[in-house]
């Protein structure tokens, strides 16, 4: 690595060497905090190469957001089998992340957080707090033109999905119907749902009504995987979960009245290619590292 730095002028070399030491300190601190037992992996050539590559990239750019992402990626890599797809994706991400702007990494983090992860929110306040904690930190700087998204596609972190995409409130409605149902009168709850222990609870928005206890669409799919329900019963449960839902306009008003900052994201989502972004494996690990560098106590996504 010193040979790499010798290519710089004397003044520039002082800067890059200071940044390289700063990066090494940040990496060692993060490794000790997150996975001290994996520090021994640094004896492996693949890990030394990854660390040196990350150091050089941060030392050259000095971008704080990039440095935080690269630190988390190296720590993540230390915990992986070198032959796994996840490890390969992390290694690839270390070389790609320096090619992205903070705005582009913010876009990846938002799409991953909202579309590709399911959060265990059980109350309305959980959802409002979750959106404020997980999304708002990334809204300030977002891509504003098609060139940003073409560049993201060109470096391999994303591609543009086909077809019509839902608005942001529509996406949340689809993923978390239990948060946006007005509930069902007790006497109108299907008998097959009533017969399933723990399936029916007081509605979040009206305690005099009832709703399905499973909030998220993805979690209901997991319930189906774990139980031997007939197709007919599954269909009834799906319909009950989505009964008496808000429309997208009402969902938007509900969210923005509590989190005004999210109005900007809704506008960008509607007016740019952000809603069309599909995230590659390398983009996924960059998004995940960027999220965890900004938000505490977020578990790694993994594959």
Instruction: Identify the domain containing residue 71 by its residue range.
Output: 2-99
Q: Please give the pLDDT value at position 211.
A: 98
Tell me whether residue 303 is in a domain: no
Instruction: Indicate whether 122 and 221 sit together in one domain.
Output: no
Q: Which residue has the higher pLDDT, 53 or 10?
A: 53
Name the average pLDDT for the chain.
93
pLDDT at 144 over 60: yes
Confidence of residue 257 (pLDDT cuts 50, 70, 90): very high
Instruction: Indicate whether 143 and 257 sit together in one domain.
Output: yes
Q: 3-state class of 159 per DSSP?
A: strand
DSSP state of 205: T
Give the count of domains, the chain.
3
Instruction: Indicate whether 84 and 9 sit together in one domain.
Output: yes
Q: Please give the pLDDT value at position 161.
A: 86
- In the chain, pLDDT over 90 holds for what percent of residues? 82
Rounded-to-integer distance, Cα 190 and Cα 131, Å: 32
Q: What is the pLDDT of residues 83-133, one digit of tens each?
A: 789 999 999 999 999 999 999 999 999 999 999 999 999 999 999 999 999
Rounded-to-integer distance, Cα 256 and Cα 264, Å: 10
Instruction: Indicate whether 267 and 145 sit together in one domain.
Output: yes
Confidence of residue 268 (pLDDT cuts 50, 70, 90): very high
Q: Which of 83, 99, 115 is the last residue of a domain?
A: 99
To the nearest 10°, the Cα dihedral for 94, 99, 103, 104?
A: -80
Tell me whether residue 299 is in a domain: no
Confidence of residue 5 (pLDDT cuts 50, 70, 90): low
Range 140-161 average pLDDT: 92
pTM for this entry: 0.91
Q: What is the pLDDT of residues 44-94, one digit of tens each?
A: 999 999 999 999 999 999 999 999 999 999 999 999 877 789 999 999 999
Instruction: Indicate whether 60 and 106 sit together in one domain.
Output: no
Contact between residue 150 and residue 114 where contact means Cβ atoms under 8 Å apart: no
């Amino acid at each position: 690595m010193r040979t790499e730095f010798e290519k710089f002028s004397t003044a520039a070399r002082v800067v890059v060497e200071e940044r390289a030491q700063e990066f090494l300190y940040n990496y060692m601190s993060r490794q000790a905090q997150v996975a001290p037992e994996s520090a021994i992996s640094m004896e492996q050539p693949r890990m030394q190469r990854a660390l040196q590559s990350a150091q050089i990239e941060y030392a050259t750019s000095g971008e704080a957001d990039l440095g935080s992402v690269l630190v988390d990626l190296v720590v993540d890599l230390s915990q992986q089998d070198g032959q796994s797809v996840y490890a390969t994706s992390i290694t690839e991400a270390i070389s790609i992340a320096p090619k992205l702007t903070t705005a582009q990494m913010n876009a990846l983090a938002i799409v991953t957080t909202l579309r590709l992860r399911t959060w265990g929110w059980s109350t309305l306040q959980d959802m409002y707090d979750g959106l404020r904690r997980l999304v708002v930190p990334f809204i300030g700087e977002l891509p504003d033109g098609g060139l940003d998204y073409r560049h993201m596609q060109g470096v391999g972190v994303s591609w543009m999905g086909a077809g019509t995409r839902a608005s942001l409130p529509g996406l949340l409605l689809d993923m978390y119907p239990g948060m946006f149902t007005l509930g069902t009168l007790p006497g109108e709850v299907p008998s097959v749902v009533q017969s399933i222990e723990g399936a029916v609870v007081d509605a979040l928005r009206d305690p005099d009504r009832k709703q399905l206890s499973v909030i998220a669409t993805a979690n209901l799919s997991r319930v189906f995987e774990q139980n031997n329900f007939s197709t007919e019963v599954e269909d009834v449960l799906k319909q009950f979960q989505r009964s008496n839902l808000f429309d997208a306009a009402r969902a938007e008003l509900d969210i923005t009245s509590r989190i005004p900052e999210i109005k900007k994201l809704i506008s960008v989502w509607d007016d740019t290619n952000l809603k069309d972004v599909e995230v590659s494996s390398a983009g996924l690990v960059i998004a995940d590292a960027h999220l965890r560098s900004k938000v505490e106590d977020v578990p790694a996504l993994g594959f």
